[in-house]
């Protein structure tokens, strides 16, 4: 997505100049396209590095004896109850992620600096042969992804992979599994709904204060800087920090420990940055004169917020809520240290079932998560289309 954005802002006049000079397509690619999106490529590389470096779920399930830092934190805390060593490894995990995040922010600022007011977005001309070739390539990638998902679904409807391939639906009777039952699945739905509703309200209002607030510039800038930090903090380090903070009996917020509330709080914090940036971007598109006119008419800010700001930003609000819902449904690293027997989640149940060797149950629970996310995404698309017809008609006038 970052690379696509970088390509979309490439100045079309560069390609026109290259064509006028009869420059070959390969040379144009290396002298125009690559230099124009090099910062996007670098940024994408750092994003991939951060996500892979801090990932927990994939290496935990298929990593075998190959050690990864995120898995080592889990082994130190859960396996050996060595919280001090887990904290040390968390800091080691945090340092490269913070460095990559910092470099990525610098790179993104340089990418924006490349734009000029007279730049013309590049729009490639239709080329049936090339378009069909790219369609075939993208279809191949999509097919590979569907095959992987289909393999998980196949493993969920057989008795025991790869020894007993008899088809059965017993794997969906999660109450028979040791890693977690149907309660885990419904807990994940509760967590996702709470996170989507509460998180969207908090994040959008916080972004509104940062972008549309007046005065206290230093405080608003500090809040915006703090909002950027969660993207650089690995989920494992965040979860461990919540253990040390909330598990202290002297902490007045200790009552949250082991409840659904702490899971909602850590999930909102973990995915705060992207949602905050989405809200700020949507608010930046609004003319600041709305607030000025409202102030001159002595209209309370909350009335302007409710009648103008929120309706205009409805698409972004719905996108934020869906982003939070999907990530809350699938997150593992941020919550794996914080759940209790009453708040076991579906994503954590998949790990527990895999540890117990119940692969078919784990695959079935994983597919339930996937199907839930797919249904939520479809409902979101339908809701967004209906809401946009009612509240965004002004965009087409």
Task: Write 179-182 long-range contacts (CB < 8 A, 24+).
Answer: 179/349, 179/350, 179/351, 179/352, 179/353, 179/354, 179/355, 179/356, 179/358, 179/361, 179/362, 180/344, 180/346, 180/348, 180/349, 180/352, 180/353, 180/365, 181/349
- The answer to whether 154 and 366 are in contact (CB under 8 A) is no
The secondary structure of 257-308 as a DSSP string is TTSHHHHHHHHHHHTHHHHHHHHHHHHHTS-THHHHHHHHTT--HHHHIIII
Band of residue 139 on the pLDDT scale cut at 50, 70, 90: very high
b/e burial code for range 64-103 (CB count within 10 A of at least 16 → b): eeeebbbbbbbebbeeeeeeeebbebbeebbeebeebbee
Band of residue 136 on the pLDDT scale cut at 50, 70, 90: very high
Residues making up the chain, counted from first to last: 397
Q: What digits encode the pLDDT tens for the residues 188-223?
A: 999 999 999 999 999 999 888 888 777 777 888 888
Q: What digits encode the pLDDT tens for the residues 14-49?
A: 666 666 667 777 777 777 777 767 766 776 777 677
Q: What digits encode the pLDDT tens for the residues 321-343?
A: 999 999 999 988 888 888 888 89
The alpha carbon dihedral of 13, 16, 22, 28 has a sign of positive
- 1.10.10.10, 3.40.1160.10, 1.10.3720.10, 1.10.599.10: CATH of 172-397: 1.10.3720.10
Distance CA 7, CA 122 (A): 8
Identify which of 87, 104, 170, 92 has the alpha carbon closest to the alpha carbon of residue 364.
170
Whole-model pTM: value is: 0.80
Would you give the DSSP letter of residue 181? -
Identify which of 61, 329, 357, 333 has the alpha carbon closest to the alpha carbon of residue 185.
329
Paired strand residues for 164: 160
Would you give the DSSP letter of residue 11? B
- The answer to whether 322 and 313 are in contact (CB under 8 A) is no
Q: What digits encode the pLDDT tens for the residues 100-114?
A: 777 766 765 665 544
Paired strand residues for 160: 164
């Amino acid at each position: 997505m970052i690379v696509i954005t970088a390509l979309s802002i490439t100045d079309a006049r560069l390609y026109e100049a290259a064509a006028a000079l009869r420059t070959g397509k390969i040379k144009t690619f290396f002298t125009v396209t690559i230099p124009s999106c090099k910062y996007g490529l670098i940024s994408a590389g750092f994003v991939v590095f951060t996500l892979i470096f801090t990932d927990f779920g994939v290496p935990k399930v298929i990593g075998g004896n190959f050690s990864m830092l995120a898995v080592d934190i889990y082994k130190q805390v859960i396996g050996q109850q060595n919280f001090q060593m887990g904290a040390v490894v968390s800091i080691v995990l945090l340092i490269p992620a913070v460095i990559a995040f910092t470099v990525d922010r610098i790179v993104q600022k340089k990418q924006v600096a490349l734009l000029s007011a007279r730049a013309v977005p590049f729009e490639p001309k239709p080329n049936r042969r090339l378009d069909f070739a790219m369609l075939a390539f993208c279809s191949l990638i999509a097919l590979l992804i569907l095959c992987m998902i289909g393999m998980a679904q196949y493993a969920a409807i057989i008795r025991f992979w790869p020894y007993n391939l008899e088809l059965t639906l017993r794997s969906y009777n999660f109450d028979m599994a040791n890693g977690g039952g149907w309660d885990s699945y419904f807990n994940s739905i509760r967590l996702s709904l709470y996170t989507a509703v509460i998180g969207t309200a908090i994040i959008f209002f916080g972004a509104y204060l940062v972008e549309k607030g007046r005065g206290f510039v230093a405080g608003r800038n500090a809040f915006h800087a703090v909002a950027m930090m969660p993207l650089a903090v690995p989920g494992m380090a965040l979860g461990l920090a919540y253990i040390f903070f909330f598990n202290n009996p002297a902490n007045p917020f200790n009552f949250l420990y082991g409840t659904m509330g702490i899971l909602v709080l850590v999930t909102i914090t973990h995915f705060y940055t992207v949602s905050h940036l989405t809200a700020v971007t949507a608010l930046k598109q609004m003319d600041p004169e709305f607030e000025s006119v409202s102030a001159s008419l002595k209209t309370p800010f909350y009335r302007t917020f409710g009648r103008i700001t929120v309706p205009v930003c409805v698409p972004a609000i719905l996108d934020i809520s869906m982003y939070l819902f999907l990530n809350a449904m699938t997150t593992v690293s941020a919550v794996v240290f914080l759940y209790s027997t009453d708040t076991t989640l579906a994503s954590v149940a998949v790990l527990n079932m895999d540890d117990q060797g119940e692969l078919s149950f784990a695959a079935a629970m994983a597919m339930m998560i996937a199907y839930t996310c797919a249904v939520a995404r479809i409902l979101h698309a339908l809701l967004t289309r209906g809401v946009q017809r009612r509240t965004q008609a002004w965009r087409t006038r």
